[in-house]
Amino acid sequence: MLTPGAQVGQLVESLIADLQSSGSAGSAVELLDRVHALLDQAGDPAMTAMLVATDQIAARWRCEADQLEVYRRAQRRAVDSESEMRRSLITALQAVAELIRCPRDWPGASPPDGEVLTSGGLHSRPGPPGGTAACTLAACLLGPCVIQCQGQVIEGWRGVKVARVVRYLMFQSGRPTHRDMLIENFWPGCDAEVGRRNLHQTMYLIRRILRGHTGLEHIAYENEAYAVDRRAGFWCDVEEFETRVAAGCRAEREGRADEAVEEFERGVALYAGDLLEDMPYEDWALTERHRLRLAYLDCANRLAELRLAAGAVDVALDISQQVLRREPCDEAAHRRVMSCYSLTGRRPLVVEQYRRCSSALADTLDLEPSKETTDLYCSLVNG
């Protein structure tokens, strides 16, 4: 059996090896604690005194390691934010380029009824049954936000804060939000009385603007909570989109392919862009934006698969390419594009599509294509 001194020696050697291999602060602390226990057992005051200095260095190192982890997390957040800002800049520049290409869309000219300008140019997206003019209040939040009262687009919300709050209430689609939550979301850290005063003024402006277009009250207040009053006539594209996606999935599960295709097509048409594309840094919208984006990708991929299964190769190819324009790393869409090219005898494009897939995964995620993607590619090119 090893003596306490020999055991201490082994532990110290293990600690040195762990540190040299970039071991964690947690494992180092555990080893130091074991060394302390053995020295206490051995009763060697000289070695214990030497270890005091080591403990001081270790404590300082743990603080630096903790701070480094904070910096790493901040770096990851900064990288994500930089990527989001880059995408937003690209979206804005694409919109500018589209305006330059289309003189009718220069400032002062209005898009035709039912069309809005998105990152892909003029996009005609479905509205409520009977058209926007037949609905008292309509909110299109997918893509750039457009709010309409009886078909007339509301502009000039009297400040950014008013615009932010009204978008939030429209997204809730009639679900009440307590005033304290609104204050916390839009006036964080504000004194309670000041926050309530700010909220009251903001809601007064929103109500006045909406009332000025329809003569109706569209914002209800009950039990210290605000909500869009659906009784006045309200339609929201997010709500409609989720309804269509759910109906399509249900029809697909039950084997009603034609009905599933119809519902999925309506859902895809409604998705004019990510949630509140013109306000990309709204904190409350980040999670919802990601959720709806995934729902769109799933809906579009399901639609493309159903269309491909029905023999509509060109339609399936077009939908898959739309998916890749929004999510270049979607391997399912890449595989479908390769299959469509192969079915139409365009083998060189199969090779090019696999290269694009590999580049997108490597550049964005530092990954290689999955085995499923590579196996399909090999089977298609080897014919």
pLDDT tens profile 283-320: 999 999 999 999 999 999 999 999 999 999 999 999 99
Please say which residue of 49, 78, 107 terminates a domain.
78
The three-class DSSP label of residue 157 is coil
Q: DSSP letter for 222, please.
A: E
Could you tell me the residue range of the domain that residue 359 belongs to? 328-383
Predicted confidence at residue 119, as pLDDT, reads 38
Alpha carbon distance 312, 320 (integer Å): 12
Nearest to 115 by CA among 76, 164, 158, 153: 153
Predicted confidence at residue 185, as pLDDT, reads 93
Two structure tokens written together for 207: 């109500």
Residue whose structure tokens are 């939908």:
319
**Cβ contacts of 138 within 8 Å, gap of 6 or more:** 127, 128, 132, 147, 148, 149, 234, 235, 236
Alpha carbon distance 227, 173 (integer Å): 8
Alpha carbon distance 383, 134 (integer Å): 55
Please say which residue of 15, 49, 78 terminates a domain.
78
Neighbours of 80 (CB within 10 A): 11
Predicted confidence at residue 106, as pLDDT, reads 41
**How crowded is the C-beta side of 26, counted as CA atoms within 13 Å?**
1
Integer CA distances (angstroms), 220 to 181, 227, 266, in order? 16, 5, 31
Residue 139 lies in a domain: no
Predicted confidence at residue 41, as pLDDT, reads 64
The three-class DSSP label of residue 263 is helix
Which helix (H) or strand (E) covers residue 234, if one does? strand 234-236
More confident residue, 18 or 187: 187
Residue 362 lies in a domain: yes
Residue 61 lies in a domain: yes
Residue 373 lies in a domain: yes
Predicted confidence at residue 127, as pLDDT, reads 74
Q: How confident is the model at residue 96 (pLDDT cuts 50, 70, 90)?
A: low
Residue 347 lies in a domain: yes
Q: What are phi and psi of 178, to 5 degrees?
A: -65, 145
Tell me the DSSP string of 2-48: --HHHHHHHHHHHHHHHHHTT--HHHHHHHHHHHHHHHHHHT-HHHH
Residue 83 lies in a domain: no
Predicted confidence at residue 67, as pLDDT, reads 76
Instruction: Give the total number of structural domains in the chain.
Output: 2
Q: Report percent pLDDT > 90 for the chain.
A: 57
Beta bridge partners of 138: 148, 235
Please say which residue of 50, 78, 106 terminates a domain.
78
Residue 67 lies in a domain: yes
* pTM for the whole structure: 0.68
Beta bridge partners of 140: 146
Through-space distance between the first and last CA atoms of the chain, rounded to whole angstroms: 67
Residue 11 lies in a domain: yes
